[in-house]
Amino acid sequence: MLTVALDFTATLGVAALVFRLFGFSGTDPSVPLYGFVFLVALGVDYNIFLMSRVREETLRHGTREGVRRGLVTTGGVITSAGVVLAATFAALGVIPLAFLVQIAFIVAFGVLLDTLVVRSLLVPALVWDAGDRVWWPTRPAAGGPDGRSPAPGRRPRTLLPGEDRA
């Protein structure tokens, strides 16, 4: 959630600078709200997509290898979807209404920042550094660093606090 909030805050700051540079005298008070709704919804969706795959790979290969494999698998899809969505919103910028130009810039820039920097670099780096602590309050069961995997057809059991894998 912090990465989604960071993305929105950075986008709003850049947008304020760009709007001032291009001479927008003011903005409709609802512009930041609409930008927030779009960017949070998309950021959370992309996070769920990335981290659910990382979790699957973590159960088989451990957290660090799971991050690498999850990012390789989902990175292209997230990035290409973000680029298409940003281009779609950027098209609103040609309509001669300040409200739509501002929404178009905020969402297009925010989605590109989210997909190219936050989901591709920041989130995987944070998960890589945090290791197994990222899955708190549960921990991955089978498939830790030793590569164990659950029996075919069986779902791995989540360890309780204080329980050891061995």
Cα separation, 15 vs 103, whole angstroms: 10
Closest CA to 31 of 108, 130, 104, 120: 104
Q: How many CB atoms lie within 10 A of CB 102?
A: 22
Predicted pLDDT at 24: 80
166 residues of the chain, pLDDT tens digit each = 899 999 999 999 999 999 989 888 777 889 999 999 999 999 999 999 999 999 999 999 999 999 999 999 999 999 999 999 999 999 998 988 888 999 999 999 999 999 999 999 999 999 999 888 888 888 776 554 444 444 445 555 566 666 665 5
pTM over 0.85? The answer is: no
Q: Where are the domains of the chain?
A: 2-23+31-135
Cα separation, 160 vs 24, whole angstroms: 55
List, for residues 28-66, the tens digit of each pLDDT value. Answer: 889 999 999 999 999 999 999 999 999 999 999 999 999
Please name the residues in contact with 144: beta carbons below 8 A apart, sequence gap of 6 or more.
62, 132, 165
